[in-house]
Structure 1
């Protein structure tokens, strides 16, 4: 099978530009941070800090460019509450600007008993639906979105995320203990739920960035992120 090296290089460049953007915006920070799974991570990605119009617009550009480069086909965009709502809306706007105008919908956590009622807002869910979110920790949010989409008679088709942490997911055993599993949340969504996943950047791209900028005082962070991936990473 032939490989389009130009497309691969373009995707790699996009990922590196995205990591740089996240560092500059303070969204990606290095240090010691406790994750939801209880791990001590040497980096932290906080999408809530895409907190002004310029940052959100630039973020949407990265999503849209990554989606168009991926070749994933979809008929509409869905933003799951809460973080996915502004992300999905911004991505839909940017896609339209680039010539791919698709419907957009989102859900609310609490159903309304007046007006249009229900939990879904926006365009009717139909066709192949793209779910837009920031990161995937356990795939729980994706499963909730999939259930909503299927209940509406549409097809959950793909998920777009900003960063694939490429690390083992966790599960809670019958004894209440939290255990690592041998797949990531992204791999679970791809292999078990059957959805395509488009990530703007992955942990491998972050490591490449740290390696390329090691001479700028990031060598220590590179070592810690490499050690973290060695312990918790997936291929």
Structure 2
């Protein structure tokens, strides 16, 4: 789909998707890295929300009642996606996020924005999932607030890497919690689109880089 190709180039131009030598949080040496902390302007966050909204409408659909963004990176993602769903699709979706620290004054509580109710269908919005720890924490937190039904998880990139076992982290979450998982793009789609393609006059994934990524995925991928 066109929005996937546009998103890949958007990540490159935003210096969010980079190629070289990196070490992931799990200690794996990887030839590519996704750092969503490099989105830093109003134009970038507005475009990012549009891509998440398109992914939701094309893949997850309207099978949810509220967006939830885990602190901290999930907070702007939930906000900009809610704005994009409203402006692009005239769908006014409630959103909420958690506080890292419980508030002991004012209205108190650990959830900001929409207060989940029993039976609410929740879509969790994240950047990139490595081990799925934050989603498991979100599951526990949301269920401590109300008897919600977490239906979907949407991320920007599916690295297609093993989680704790022989499945990807997203597959493990789907199996453990019944959450339908969706990604704007996968690493396979990134390789397929960028291989020997120029972006702003530069080839991002040449034959040598493609081989390095494929070797990495043979070792850690699913």
Same fold per TM (> 0.5)? yes
- What residue ranges of structure 1 are gaps of 5+ in the alignment? 1-9, 171-180
Paired residue for 2:97, among 95, 106, 119? 106
1:184 aligns with 2:168: yes
Partner of 1:195: 179
Structure 2: gaps spanning 5 or more residues: none
Q: Which residue of structure 1 lines up, in the alignment, with residue 13 of structure 2?
A: 24
- State the alpha-carbon separation in 2 of the partners of residues 141 and 91 from structure 1: 19
Q: TM-score, normalised by structure 1?
A: 0.87
User: Matches of 1:41 and 1:168 in 2, distance apart?
Assistant: 14
Offset, 1:71: 4.1
The answer to whether the Cα contact below 8 Å between 1:77 and 1:130 also exists between their aligned partners in 2 is yes
Q: How many residues align?
A: 213
**Following the alignment from structure 1 to structure 2, what is the Cα–Cα distance between the partners of residues 151 and 67?**
26
Superposed CA offset, 1:150-188 (max 9, x none): 222222111111011000124xxxxxxxxxx21111111
Q: Is the 8 A contact 2:162 2:169 kept in 1?
A: yes
1:166 maps onto 2:150 in alignment: no
Report the Cα offset of residue 218 of structure 1. 2.7
Cα distance in 1 for partners of 2:80, 2:99 equals 17
- How far apart are the structure 2 equivalents of 1:217 and 1:182? 30
Runs of 4+ aligned structure 1 residues displaced above 3 Å come to none
Partner of 1:232: 220
Q: TM-score, normalised by structure 2?
A: 0.91
Deviation at 1:212, TM superposition (A): 4.8
